[in-house]
Structure 1
Amino acid sequence: MTEENVLFNPGDAIANAHDYNEVYQSAQIYKHHNPHTLFIVSESDGTPYVLFDQDAVTNQGHDQKKYRVIKKM
């Protein structure tokens, strides 16, 4: 399985926590009101888990950070 990485500005995060289930629950609530594609991602060490809206994906910029995709919703 190929690992997928995306670039986000950490300031665009919707939620973050060290508990995956907490971020997943936040994603479900957010998705109910905003039917966009969401990404639950983590830094290379696996924590913390961070939730981003697909609209926040960036291809360039000095504030971007590379994250590993854990789940697309």
Structure 2
Amino acid sequence: MDEVVLFNPGDSIGNFHDYHEAVQQAQIYQERHDKSGHVLVVKSEHGEPSFDIFLAEQQLTDKSEPSTKQRYTVSKKM
């Protein structure tokens, strides 16, 4: 089952068109920032396939704000 999460796109650590590149960059980020918590590679539900990297703690739980939120499907948790 797909897990759909909400993030503010401006909080993205990186945006990639290649899934494997996104996973590789997420691993590098996590190694360099070992206290940053869980890193998520997520797929955008809009337009062409693209993958973003977010910190799990940046997930929006209040669906009413901010207005710039966007839906993503979790592809990989680290």
TM-score category (smaller protein): 0.7 to 0.9
Q: Secondary structure at the match of 1:58?
A: coil
Indicate the RMSD between aligned Cα atoms, in angstroms.
Answer: 1.4
2:42 maps to 41
Q: Which runs of 5+ in 2 are unaligned?
A: none
Per the normalisation by structure 2, the TM-score is 0.82
CA distance in 2 between partners of 1:22 and 1:48 (Å): 11
Q: Secondary structure at the match of 1:28?
A: helix
2:9 maps to 10
- Identity among equivalent pairs (%): 36
CA distance in 1 between partners of 2:2 and 2:22 (Å): 20
- Equivalent of 1:70, from 64, 72, 75? 75
Which 4+ residue blocks in structure 1 deviate beyond 2 angstroms? none
Q: Which runs of 5+ in 1 are unaligned?
A: none
1:53 maps to 55
Residues paired across the two proteins, number: 72
